[in-house]
A and B are shown apart, each in its own frame.
Chain A
Amino acid sequence: MYHPLAFAIAVSHIAAAIALLNGILTTMGQGKVAASAVEAIARQPEAKGSITTTMFIGCGFAETGGVYGLLIAFLLIFVNPLINNNIQYLLG
C-alpha cells in the first residue's frame, strides 16, 4: 500500500498540471489579439502607434486567465492548504 503523503503530493502535482492547461486557450486568445492588430495595421499603417499600445494592453487582459491558473498551480505545489486534510482523510 502507498504512503498517504506520497499520494497527496502526487495528486496535487497532477492537479497543478491540469490547472496549467488553460494556457492553451490563453495563448490562442493572445494570438487572436496579435492577429487582429496586424490586420488593423495593414489596413491603416498611419495608426500603428496607438494600435500597438492597445494591442499590448489587450494582451495583458487576455493573459489574466492564464495567470489565475498559474497561481493555482503555485498554490498547489508550494503552499497547498489542502494537504493536511487529504492526509487526515486518507488515514481515516
Chain B
Amino acid sequence: MDFSIVVHHGIQITDGIMFLITETTVNTWIIMGLLFLFGIVVRVKSRKWDFTKKPTGLQNFIEMCVESWEKFFIANSSTRVLYLAPWFFVLFMFLLVSNMIGVTGLRPPTADWGMTFPLAFSTFCLIIFAGMRHRPKKYLKGIFLEPLFVFAPLNIIGELARPISLSFRLFGNILGGMILLSLLYGIAPIFVQFVLPAPLHMYFDLAAGALQAVIFVVLSLTFVGIASED
C-alpha cells in the first residue's frame, strides 16, 4: 500500500531545484476555488444589502458569522490585535474545509507537512510581529533577559518549538485518520466497504478535523494575544 503524495507534474527551474505540482497543490486549489467562489458570491450579493434595516437570509448568516468570530477572537486573544481577525477567519475556514475534504475521497491537503508547516510558520511570524509592534521592549526583554540572560537559549528554543509542535499536531492527526481509512478500504473485503466506513469517516474526517482546526486557531490566537498584551 502506498500512502505517499502523488506528483502530477514537475517543472525544472534550475539544476536540482524542481517545482512540483502534487496532489496537495491540486486539492488546495480546489478548496481555494470553493472559498473564493463563496466569497465572490457574498460580495456581489452584498452590494444590494441595506445595513440600516433588519437583516434577512444570507445577510443575517454573514453578520452572525462575523459577530461571533469577533467575540471568539476577543475571548481567546486580545482587543489590541483585532485587525488580525480576518486572517485567522480565513485560516480557520481553510483548515476546516481541507480537513473535511477526506469525506469526498480526495487526500486532505493538511496530511502533508509541507502544507501545515507554512501555516504554523505564519503564526510564528505573527507572534513576533505582534510582540514587536505592541510592546517591543518588554517582548525582547521577555525572551532575552527573563529570568536571567543565561536562559536566553532555552527561551529561543521554546519559541522555535511552537510552530513545529503546532504543525505536527495537525499533520499527525489528519495523516493518522487518512491512513486508517485507506487501510480499511484497502484490506477489508468489498461487502464491508459500504456502510461500516461511515462512522469512521464521521469521526476521523468531520469530528477530529473540526476539532484540530479549532485547536490550531485557538492556540495561534492565544500565542498572538499573549505576545501583544502586557
Chain A interface residues toward B at CB < 8 A: 56-57, 59-61, 63-64, 67-68, 70-71, 74, 78
Query: Is B211's CB under 8 angstroms from A67's CB?
Result: no
In the complex, what residue of chain B is closest to A67 when comparing beta carbons? B172
Task: Given contacts A59-B211, A78-B3, list 20 more A-B pairs with CB under 8 A.
Answer: A56-B214, A57-B214, A60-B212, A60-B215, A61-B215, A63-B169, A63-B173, A64-B165, A64-B168, A64-B169, A67-B169, A67-B173, A67-B176, A68-B168, A68-B172, A70-B176, A71-B168, A71-B172, A74-B175, A74-B176
In the complex, what residue of chain A is closest to B175 when comparing beta carbons? A74
Asked, given contacts A60-B212, A74-B179, whether A67 binds B3 with beta carbons under 8 Å apart, the answer is no
Query: Is B215's CB under 8 angstroms from A67's CB?
Result: no
In the complex, what residue of chain B is closest to A63 when comparing beta carbons? B173
Cα separation A85 to B103 with both chains bound (whole Å): 39
Asked, given contacts A74-B175, A74-B179, A78-B3, whether A67 binds B214 with beta carbons under 8 Å apart, the answer is no
Tell me whether chain A's interface is mostly helix, strand or loop, or mixed: helix
Contacts of B168 in A (CB 8 A): 64, 67-68, 71
Contacts of A78 in B (CB 8 A): 3-4
Contacts of B211 in A (CB 8 A): 56, 59-60
Question: Which residues in chain B, 185-219, are within 8 Å of chain A measured between CB atoms?
Answer: 211-212, 214-215, 218
Query: Is A57's CB under 8 angstroms from B176's CB?
Result: no
Contacts of A74 in B (CB 8 A): 175-176, 179
Cα separation A57 to B219 with both chains bound (whole Å): 10
Query: Is B173's CB under 8 angstroms from A57's CB?
Result: no
